[in-house]
Amino acid sequence: MANRTALQTFGRSGNPMFRGNAFQPDATFGETDSTQRMTLAGAVNKTGILLVLCLVSAGYVWNQFFQSGGSGAVKGLMMLGLLGGLAMAMVTIFKRQWAGLTAPAYALLQGLAMGGISAMFEMQYPGIVIQAVGLTFGTLAMLLLAYKTGLIKPTENFRLMIVAATGGIALLYLVSFVMGFFGSSVGFIHSNGLFGIGFSVFVVAIAALNLVLDFDFIEAGAEQGAPKYMEWYGAFSLMVTLVWLYLEILRLLAKLRSR
Amino acid sequence: MGLNELIFGGMAVLGIVVFMFVGRFRANRSQRDRADRLKWTAVDKGHSAQKKP
């Protein structure tokens, strides 16, 4: 399949948050001044705000989990976080103009789920959460440096590769999820054998490379003077990728520890 | 606080600091000025056409 056709078929982004018309100005954009346009600093600050919100709600669930001594007390909060987070993500994707409200709500709700999941892993493998957090932010910093210095240059082929791999992983997870209802699953995804660990390493790499697309999206948005709300949208897309990367690193570390 | 927390906690803090600082600067010229750069605006032509007067 030629690149052009494939891009038209699968979309032009590795991240579902990035539709091709992401920077399409709204009807009133032409009349706004430069203070109403997206900046790099604005997107970075808003990412910081989302991280703090996520940390606060995750910390609350984490404390509840360890005070009550199990997941029973936080199951409701975790479900609220998972389903509410998914709903907020969908609203943000389809109504970018609302990102200033929906992105913080997404971060708070996602934090509820992250706090519970992290606490479960921590109870089983003490010390694993701080390792996953450290590796996630370490990866973020290293890839940002690699992107800013021009060491990694995202091209259309790069994006096509990430789109295909991300889509494949999502499909595999969906199949495994559906098979779960029938008491079965795609075994190697969850195994701690060499193949299972190799798969996790691959998924971590793809999640990490999605960060490069996020950086390029934000950079391009700031350059092209996208509307101010795109700062929230860019921060939201970074959050989505970071949450995915964190979860995959957590799973990888758990597989390594369980051997 | 153990070595695990020191090393990985430090890595997390350093990562966030680097992100908050470096993220504010524009990318290197070699990253920005190249022909094969991703086009985030090339898109939904129907939508663009609707916007035209």
- pLDDT tens-digit readout, B4-21: 999 999 999 999 999 999
Query: pLDDT tens digits, residue range A18-55?
Result: 555 556 555 444 445 677 899 999 999 999 999 999 99
- Phi first, then psi: give them for residue A149, nearest 5 degrees: -85, -5
Q: Which residues in chain B are contacts of A211 at CB distance < 8 A?
A: none
Q: What is the torsional sign of CA A127, A133, A139, A142?
A: negative
Check: complex ipTM more than 0.95? no
Cα–Cα distance list, A134 to A131, A140, A200 (Å): 5, 10, 18
The arithmetic mean of pLDDT across residues A198-226, rounded, is 95
Q: Name the E strands within chain B.
A: none
β-bridge mates for residue A37, sequence order = A227
Cross-chain residue pair A223–B41, CB shorter than 8 Å: no
Cross-chain residue pair B19–A47, CB shorter than 8 Å: yes
pLDDT category at A162 given cuts 50, 70, 90 is very high
Structure tokens at B17: 């600091």
Query: pLDDT tens digits, residue range A172-195?
Result: 999 998 988 888 877 778 888 899
Percent of the residues in chain A that have a pLDDT greater than 70, as a whole number: 87
Residue A100, classified by CB atoms within 10 Å of its CB into exposed (0-12), middle (13-18) or buried (19+), is middle
Residue A9, classified by CB atoms within 10 Å of its CB into exposed (0-12), middle (13-18) or buried (19+), is exposed
Tokens 């913080």 found at: A104
Of A12, A144, A205, A180, whose CA–CA distance to B23 is shortest?
A144
Q: Could you tell me where the DSSP H helices lie in chain A?
A: 3-10, 40-68, 75-94, 99-124, 128-148, 156-180, 187-190, 194-223, 229-257
pLDDT at A22: 57
**Would you call B52 an interface residue with chain A, using a CB distance cutoff of 8 Å?**
no
Cross-chain residue pair B19–A141, CB shorter than 8 Å: yes
Closest to B38 (Cβ–Cβ): which among A139, A140, A156?
Answer: A156
Most confident of A13-27, A176-190, A213-227, A238-252: A238-252
- Please, which residues have CB within 8 angstroms of residue A53's CB and are 6 or more apart in sequence? A104, A107, A108, A111
Domain range list for chain B: 3-47
pLDDT category at A1 given cuts 50, 70, 90 is very low
Query: pLDDT tens digits, residue range B23-49?
Result: 999 999 999 999 999 888 632 332 343
Distance from CA of A143 to the nearest CA of B (A): 10
Output the average pLDDT for chain A: 88
The arithmetic mean of pLDDT across residues A110-121, rounded, is 96
Q: How many CB atoms lie within 10 A of CB A162?
A: 20
Whether residue A36 contacts residue A222, with contact meaning beta carbons closer than 8 Å, is answered with: no
Length of chain B: 53
pLDDT at B14: 97
Whether residue B43 contacts residue A20, with contact meaning beta carbons closer than 8 Å, is answered with: yes
**Treating both helix axes as pointing N-terminal to C-terminal, what angle do A156-180 and A3-10 enclose, rounded to 10 degrees?**
40
pLDDT at A149: 96
pLDDT at A29: 45
